[in-house]
Amino acid sequence: MDYAIETVKGLLETRKPLFGICLGHQLLALANDIPTFKMHHGHRGLNHPVKNLVTGICEITTQNHGFGVDPDAVRKSANTEITHVNLNDDSIEGIRLKDRPAFSVQYHPESTPGPHDSRYLFDQFIGMMRN
């Protein structure tokens, strides 16, 4: 999906707020030279525990993906911060950029019916758009 990666790079250059969900999480990583990989076992369904590293709170999430973001590459990136991790397998569930108003999560905060623990992310995104 080279075209999508290039689109995300272009959007980041505008410095407008960007919120990636699921594939958007992977695209934000790829646009910042962080590779993805095919997971041995993907994450499917609901009740996946994810820890928000910013607040320390565990969220119950709904997920549907078979690829992940390379954790070593995220940790080596000077411009990317890990915000969420999966408590079952320690995979990267959320990142944010340090120099742009952009963040992403691997799970589905918009998913309904299901857990609503992560709806605050939309409030954060709206707050970014207002600034």
- Would you please indicate which residues are annotated as catalytic (active-site) residues? 22, 108, 110
Q: Which of 7, 42, 40 is nearest to 22 (CA)?
A: 42
Residue type, 19: F
Q: At what angle do helices 2-13 and 23-31 cross, to 10 degrees?
A: 70
Sign of CA dihedral 111, 116, 118, 119: positive
Q: How far apart are CA 22 and CA 71, in angstroms?
A: 16
**Residue 131: count of CB within 10 angstroms of its CB:** 6
DSSP 57: -
